[in-house]
Amino acid sequence: MLAINTEEEKKEILRRYRRLLRYAKPYLQDGDAKLIKKAFNTSMEAHKEMRRKSGEPYIYHPLAVAEIAVNEIGLGTTSIISALLHDVVEDTEIELDDIEREFGPKIARIIDGLTKISGVFEYGTSQQAENFRKMLLTLSDDVRVILIKLADRLHNMRTLDSMPKDKQLKIASETIYLYAPLAHRLGLYAIKTELEDLYLKYTQTERYREIATEISATKDNRNRFIKRFIGPIQKELKKQGIKNFVIKGRPKSIYSIWNKMSKKSIPFNEVYDLFAIRVILDVPTEEEKAICWKVYSIITDFYNPNPERLRDWISTPKSNGYESLHTTVMGPSGQWVEVQIRTKRMDEIAEKGYAAHWKYKDKPGNNRQSGLEEWISKVRDLLEQTKKQSPDSAIEFVHDFRSNLFNEEVFVFTPKGDLRILPSGATALDFAFDIHTEIGAKCLGAKVNQKLVPINYILSNGDQVEILTSNKQKPSEDWLRFVVSSKAKAKIREILKEEKKAAAVEGKEIVRRKLKQLKVDINSEILEKLTAYFKVKTPLEFYYRVGEGMIPATSIKKFYEETQRLNGHDQARTGDIRPINKNLIKTTKDPKEQKKDLILIGEDMDVLDYKLAKCCNPIPGDDVFGFVTVNEGIKIHRTNCPNAPELMANYGYRIVQAKWTTRKELAFLTGLKVVGTDRLGLINDITEVISSELKVNMRSISIDTDEGIFEGNIMLYVHDKSHLDTLIKKLEKVNGIVRVTRFDSE
Query: How many Cα neighbours within 13 Å face the side chain of 40?
Result: 22
Residue 711 to residue 695: CA distance in whole angstroms: 23
Residue 626 CB partners (closer than 8 Å, separation 6+):
599, 601, 602, 608, 610, 634, 635, 636, 637, 655, 656, 657, 658
Radius of gyration of the chain (CA): 29
CA distances 678 to 115, 689, 690, 698, 703, Å, are 62, 17, 18, 21, 11
**Residue 702 and residue 712: Cα distance in Å, rounded?**
5
**457 vs 476: CA distance, rounded Å:** 17
CB 430 within 8 A of CB 409: no
Beta carbons of 23 and 67 less than 8 angstroms apart: yes
Q: What element of type H or E holds 637?
A: strand 634-638
| Cβ neighbours for 700, distance < 8 A, ≥ 6 positions apart | 713, 714, 715
Q: Say how far apart CA 310 and CA 228 lie, in whole Å.
A: 23
Distances in whole angstroms, Cα of residue 203 to Cα of each of 119, 181, 195, 638: 20, 18, 12, 10
Q: Is 141 a catalytic residue?
A: no
Residues with Cβ < 8 Å from 449, sequence gap 6 or more? Answer: 463, 464
Alpha carbon distance 426, 423 (integer Å): 6
Is there a catalytic annotation at residue 91?
A: yes
Strand-pair partners of 694: none
Active-site residue, selected from the candidate residues 9, 12, 91, 100? 91
Instruction: Identify the CA nearest to 204 among candidates 633, 610, 721.
Output: 721
Cα separation, 273 vs 599, in Å, equals 41
Give the C-alpha separation, 679 to 624, whole Å.
39
From the CB of residue 279, how many other CB atoms can be counted at a distance below 10 Å? 26
Q: Choose the catalytic residue: 90, 381, 561, 704.
A: 90
- Give the HSE-up count for residue 99: Cα atoms under 13 Å, Cβ half-sphere: 29
Residues annotated as catalytic are: 90-91
